[in-house]
Amino acid sequence: GAGVSQSPSNKVTEKGKDVELRCDPISGHTALYWYRQSLGQGLEFLIYFQGNSAPDKSGLPSDRFSAERTGGSVSTLTIQRTQQEDSAVYLCASSLAQNSFYGYTFGSGTRLTVV
């Protein structure tokens, strides 16, 4: 597609429920990143996929968070047993390759609210 598409744009969920957030990167972009922005905070790195390499999961805050990227394209970020501190805007970005940091294109994000 023309840009990075994220869905849903907004999600309200009850504490303890699982949620899935979806990212459709730009076609042909091999690198995909997930970040989150909590209220009043900067963009916090979560996970990075590059081609067929093992993902860099060093930013995932707990084992309740997981992500996968199927067929080198669409990515899903899953949060199990959501907590109120998980409330944030979750942003996905893609780029042509690793180190194409000039070419990061971000989606508009999914605003997650855990009540």
Q: Which is nearer to other proteins, 39 or 115 (CB)?
A: 39
CB of 50 to other proteins, least distance (A): 7
CB crowding 63-82: b at 16 or more within 10 Å, else e: eebebebeeebebebebeeb
CB of 101 to other proteins, least distance (A): 5
Q: Which is nearer to other proteins, 50 or 82 (CB)?
A: 50
Q: Which is nearer to other proteins, 80 or 104 (CB)?
A: 104
CB of 41 to other proteins, least distance (A): 6
Tell me the CA end-to-end span of the chain in Å, nearest whole number: 33
What is the Cα–Cα distance from 80 to 76, expressed in whole angstroms? 13
What is the Cα–Cα distance from 40 to 29, expressed in whole angstroms? 30
Contacts to other proteins by CB under 8 A:
4, 31, 33, 35, 40-45, 48, 50, 56, 59, 91, 93, 98-109
